[in-house]
Every structure is written in structure tokens, then in C-alpha cells.
């Protein structure tokens, strides 16, 4: 049965893909996916991208804009009526009027832009750009399509027992031991184990641990499945033999398969398989701040992301249509937490993670690139005198309510902080016994500001360009060749 539904999925994707390409001959269209784990910066990036295309700005590296070939970009009704619209105007108002960050992505949303431009030869053209913003947690579910419940359980339990996670996993691991695979298929017990499993996954996402690889994605980002019975399963300590009929293990296995068929596969078909290009936002600094275990976990998550891009390429039908995702940009976000001198180094850290994942996967799929960026720059650079020395600092307004070294920020005061310097050789960061990364610190050296969040910059308006770091490089990689 799964084979049949795979083949039907493939046929549907192939047909839709062909239909979209025929349509694309008359009206060139590009579907760009924006993804990344929760709080990686998807909402801010998407807002900044739309603002840059519709209002312009300082984008020297984005050739079609810099050379004046883009005449205008306008918002238009999106093609899929059943998908929520990306709330661009609301997000911009929150940033500009309230000087606050807008609410983050929790589900799929879309927005369509039509860009009018002059080709390099001077003829007038349009490109329809469909932006699809979706949680990276859902992307990390795609490899589950090729994973059995037994393997999912083994991998999940090995992760939960690893030193970095074992402490927060203890209540869940105790529930697994108490339940047993061969125990009766009891609903209350299933709910209990699933609840503890979900609590363990959420605990792994806190800033201090900053773990990345936490499938199934809907447990953390349920979207419209919040509270649904589709999420009432969890990995158990399975043995080699298939679980006994009527046992808790058999019940969990059935639900895991139902999750794949009712949740993961439709997401793949309806959204993911139709993307042409993809930007994956990675809060690399959060992992660096949390330490080598978080970095190693991020690396495993990147393996999963590359595996997701291969999903659906290996079957007969998808071999008939070219693999759709042709370009992937990995972007380390929030680079405004570092001094300019470290931006290339941040890029080098992410590049190293992506290259290692790619080498392991023998991946020769889409064209990849890496950038470090701040979609909206919340800090500026300054030189600060300390003890007779001039030192590089960054200046920003910490969000109200955060506390450091006994001081509670009120959301109005500006502070100068010393951004930790990334090492010239990224290898130093991957060595658990090494010095690692010191992150943001107070000038007096007495406070650890690694997890400090800054408010958006003051003085943003709907017309004025948004300050950014290297957003133009991202646009150049993702869009420029389709505007030439």
C-alpha cells in the first residue's frame, strides 16, 4: 500500500510540476522557499526581502537593482487560496511603529510579487516570485518518509541518551522504561509517553541547549494540528522483532505511519515538491553560544536538511521531471551580533558544516552557497576606549525584561557590548576541548550577554530602506539570474 501511494504521489507531483512549467513558459514564475528552525529569522528575512524588492535600498551587490533594471515590484494575490497570506504589512507595522519584532512563523504562508524589469538586452519582462515561508521543523520530517518506526525509535533514543540531552530527557526515558514495547495498547499510557517526549523536545530547544535535530517536527511546530491525536505517539525501546499485535509498540508504530501519510506526505506534495529555490536560515550563533554539543547537533540537522532535498528524487516518476530545487542558499542569520571582522568567519563556520554534510551525503544535487547576513540590522559598530585601548564594540538597545549581572534592561537604554571574535580557523570551534566561542560580553567583562536580544533599530518607516548586512548577496544568488 505505501508503494501505491508513493507512485500516486509521484504522478501527482509530476503532473502539477509539468502544468506549472507550461504555465511558466507564458508567465515566468519562481517559487522560493524560506525556511529554518523556529526563531532562525524567517519572518524577518521574508519581510526584509519583500521590502527590499518593493522599496529598494542600499543593495550594491544585487545587480538587477543596482543597475536600475528593476522598474518595480508589486504585491499580487497569491495562487493558492487555501494557504494563509504572509502578513507583510502587519509585520512591517510592528517593526516600524512599535519598534518590536513581529510574531514568528508557526505554519506555511505565501506571498506573490510581480517584478517588472528590463532584461540585459533591454526588453521589458516580468518575473512572478512566489515566496513560501514554512517551519524548518517540517522540512526535517521529510527523511522520516524513508524511515521505519523501529529505526526512528532507535535513532531518537540514541539522541535522547547522548550526554548533552540525557538530563532533560530523563522523565521521558523513565516513561519509556515504564511503558515497555510489549505493554498493552493503552490510550492513557500512549498520551503520557507522548507528552513527556514532547516536553523533552521543547526543553532541547531552549537557548542554553539550542539543539536542532528534534523530529517529528509537528511536535514542536504543530501548525493546525495542535492537540491532535495524530501527535499521540513517541519512540519506544524497540527490539529486533516486530512489536506484538495489540501491544503499545504496535499502536505507536501505526500512529507513526499515519503521521507520515497524513501529515508529512501532504506537506511534501503540496508545498515542498513545488519549490524551485530555497533559502535555509540557520541561527548558527545560537549554536555557537550554546557550545560544541549544540554545534554537533546542528551539523546532524544539516544532514537531515540535505536528505530532505534528495527526498523524491530517487523514484521513477521524479526522475522523469528534473529535480525542482535547483539552488539552495544556507544563511547564518543575526550577523549584526558580531563585528564586521567576524562576518566572513561566521560564513566559514556554516560553510564548513554544510560541506561536511554534503560530503557525507555524496550530494551533487542543487547548487549551494553560504552567506552570513542580518536581514534587519539592529546594531551599529563603534570604537570604545577601555584601559587605554581602543576596542571594537557593537551598540544596540536590549529588549526590555532581560537581565544580566543583576541589571534588568528597560528597553530604552543603549549599550555597547564586545562581540566575541570567531577564530580564523573554524576547526577550533568543533573541538570540544578547545576554547570555543565567547559570544557577547559586557565591556567590564562581568556579564555574559551571549543570549541578549536587541530591539529592532529606531526610525524604521514603510518607505525608508531597512538596514541590513549582506541581504543583497542573498538576493543576488537567489534571484539575479532569473532577472537577466
**Site residues (CB under 6 A) for ligand GDP?**
36, 38-44, 101, 104-105, 333-334, 336, 374-376, 378, 453-454
Nearest approach, Cβ of 65 to ligand GDP (angstroms)?
19
Judged by CB, which is closer to ligand GDP: 233, or 454? Answer: 454
* 178 Cβ neighbours under 8 A, 6+ residues apart: none
Ordered DSSP codes for 119-143: -TTS-EEEEEEEEEE--HHHHTTGG
Closest contact distance (angstroms) between CB of 337 and ligand GDP is 6
C-beta closer to ligand GDP: residue 236 or 346: 346
What grid cell was written down for 210?
539550542
253-260 contacts at long range (C-beta below 8 A, 24 or more positions apart) = 253/149, 253/150, 255/190, 255/230, 256/149, 256/152, 257/2, 257/149, 258/230, 259/144, 259/216, 259/218, 259/230, 259/231, 259/233, 260/144, 260/145
* Cβ 468 to ligand GDP shortest distance, Å: 7
Distance (Å, whole) CA 108 – CA 85: 9
CA 314 to chain centre: 24
How buried is 431 (Cβ within 10 angstroms: 0-12 exposed, 13-18 middle, 19+ buried)? exposed
Instruction: Specify the residue, 101 or 172, whose C-beta has the smaller distance to ligand GDP.
Output: 101
Q: Which is nearer to ligand GDP, 101 or 268 (CB)?
A: 101
Output 358 or 453, the one with its CB closest to ligand GDP: 453
Interstrand relation of 277-282 and 29-36 (parallel, antiparallel or unpaired): parallel
**Side-chain half-sphere of 279: how many Cα atoms within 13 Å?**
29
Strand order in the sheet with 367-372: 70-76, 109-118, 124-133, 29-36, 277-282, 327-332, 367-372
Nearest Cα to Cα of residue 276 among 24, 100, 77, 469: 24
| Cβ 39 to ligand GDP shortest distance, Å | 4
Q: Determine the Cα–Cα distance for residues 200 and 246; give it in Å rounded to an integer.
A: 27
Dihedral in degrees, nearest 10, Cα atoms 272, 278, 284, 287: 10
Q: Shortest approach of ligand GDP to residue 282 CB, angstroms?
A: 10
Residue 153 to residue 329: CA distance in whole angstroms: 31
Q: Which is nearer to ligand GDP, 101 or 330 (by Cβ)? A: 101
Beta carbon nearer to ligand GDP, 40 or 483: 40
Tell me the C-alpha distance between 273 and 323, whole Å: 9
Q: How far is the CB of 305 from ligand GDP (least distance, A)?
A: 14
Of 152 and 454, which CB lies nearer to ligand GDP in the complex structure? 454
Measure the CA dihedral 409/410/411/413, to 10°. Answer: -80
- Identity of the residue, 102 or 426, whose beta carbon is nearer to ligand GDP in the bound complex: 102
Neighbour-count burial for 320-341, b at 16+ CB within 10 Å, e otherwise? ebeebbebbbbbbbbbbbbbee
Shortest Cβ 10–ligand GDP spacing (Å): 30
Question: Least distance (Å) from ligand GDP to the CB of residue 452?
Answer: 10
Closest approach of Cβ 430 to ligand GDP, in Å? 25
Residue 40 or 474 having the CB closest to ligand GDP: 40
Closer residue to ligand GDP in complex, CB, 35/153 = 35
Minimal distance, residue 37 CB to ligand GDP, in Å? 7
In the complex, least distance from residue 219 CB atom to ligand GDP, rounded to whole angstroms: 16
Amino acid at each position: 500500500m505505501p508503494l501505491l501511494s508513493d507512485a500516486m504521489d509521484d504522478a501527482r507531483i509530476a503532473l502539477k510540476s509539468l502544468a506549472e512549467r507550461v504555465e511558466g513558459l507564458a508567465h515566468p514564475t519562481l517559487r522560493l522557499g524560506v525556511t529554518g528552525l523556529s526563531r532562525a529569522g524567517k519572518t524577518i528575512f521574508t519581510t526584509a526581502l519583500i521590502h527590499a524588492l518593493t522599496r529598494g535600498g542600499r543593495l550594491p551587490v544585487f545587480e538587477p537593482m543596482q543597475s536600475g533594471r528593476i522598474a518595480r515590484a508589486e504585491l499580487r494575490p497569491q495562487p493558492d487560496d487555501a494557504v494563509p497570506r504572509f502578513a507583510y504589512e502587519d509585520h512591517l507595522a510592528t517593526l516600524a511603529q512599535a519598534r518590536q519584532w513581529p510574531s514568528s512563523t508557526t505554519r506555511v504562508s505565501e506571498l506573490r510579487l510581480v517584478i517588472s524589469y528590463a532584461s540585459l538586452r533591454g526588453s521589458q519582462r516580468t518575473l512572478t516570485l512566489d515566496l513560501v515561508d514554512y517551519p524548518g521543523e517540517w522540512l526535517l520530517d521529510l527523511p522520516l518518509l524513508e524511515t521505519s518506526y523501529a529505526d526512528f525509535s532507535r535513532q531518537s533514543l540514541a539522541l535522547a541518551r547522548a550526554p548533552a540531552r540525557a538530563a532533560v530527557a530523563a522523565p521521558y526515558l523513565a516513561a519509556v522504561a515504564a511503558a515497555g514495547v510489549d505493554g498493552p495498547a493503552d490510550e492513557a499510557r500512549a498520551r503520557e509517553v507522548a507528552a513527556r517526549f514532547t516536553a523533552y523536545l521543547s526543553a532541547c530547544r531552549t537557548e542554553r541547549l539550542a539543539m536542532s535535530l528534534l523530529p517529528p517536527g509537528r511536535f514542536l511546530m504543530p501548525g493546525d494540528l495542535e492537540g491532535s491525536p495524530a501527535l499521540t505517539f513517541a519512540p519506544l525501546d524497540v527490539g529486533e522483532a516486530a512489536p506484538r499485535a495489540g501491544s503499545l509498540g504496535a499502536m505507536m508504530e501505526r500512529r507513526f505511519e499515519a503521521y507520515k501519510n497524513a501529515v508529512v506526505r501532504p506537506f511534501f506534495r503540496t508545498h515542498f515538491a513545488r519549490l524551485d529555490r530555497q533559502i535555509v536560515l540557520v541561527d548558527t550563533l545560537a549554536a555557537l553560544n550554546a557550545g560544541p554539543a549544540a554545534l554537533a547537533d546542528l551539523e546532524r540537522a544539516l544532514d537531515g536538511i540535505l536528505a530532505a532535498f534528495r527526498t523524491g528524487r530517487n523514484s521513477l516518476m521524479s526522475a522523469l521531471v528534473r529535480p525542482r530545487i535547483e539552488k539552495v542558499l544556507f544563511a547564518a542569520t543575526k550577523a549584526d551580533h558580531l563585528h564586521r571582522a567576524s562576518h566572513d568567519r561566521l560564513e566559514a563556520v556554516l560553510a564548513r558544516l554544510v560541506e561536511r554534510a554534503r560530503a557525507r551525503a555524496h550530494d551533487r544535487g542543487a547548487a549551494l552557497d553560504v552567506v552570513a547576513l542580518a536581514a534587519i540590522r539592529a546594531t551599529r559598530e563603534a570604537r570604545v576606549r577601555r584601559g587605554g585601548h581602543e576596542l571594537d564594540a557593537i551598540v544596540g538597545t536590549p529588549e526590555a525584561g532581560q537581565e544580566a549581572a543583576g541589571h534588568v534592561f528597560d528597553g530604552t537604554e543603549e549599550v555597547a557590548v564586545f562581540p566575541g571574535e570567531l577564530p580564523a580557523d573554524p576547526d577550533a570551534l568543533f573541538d570540544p576541548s578547545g576554547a570555543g566561542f565567547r559570544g557577547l560580553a559586557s565591556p567590564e567583562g562581568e556579564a555574559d550577554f551571549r543570549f541578549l536580544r536587541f530591539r529592532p533599530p529606531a526610525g524604521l518607516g514603510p518607505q525608508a530602506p531597512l538596514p541590513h548586512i549582506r541581504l543583497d548577496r542573498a538576493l543576488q544568488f537567489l534571484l539575479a539570474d532569473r532577472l537577466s
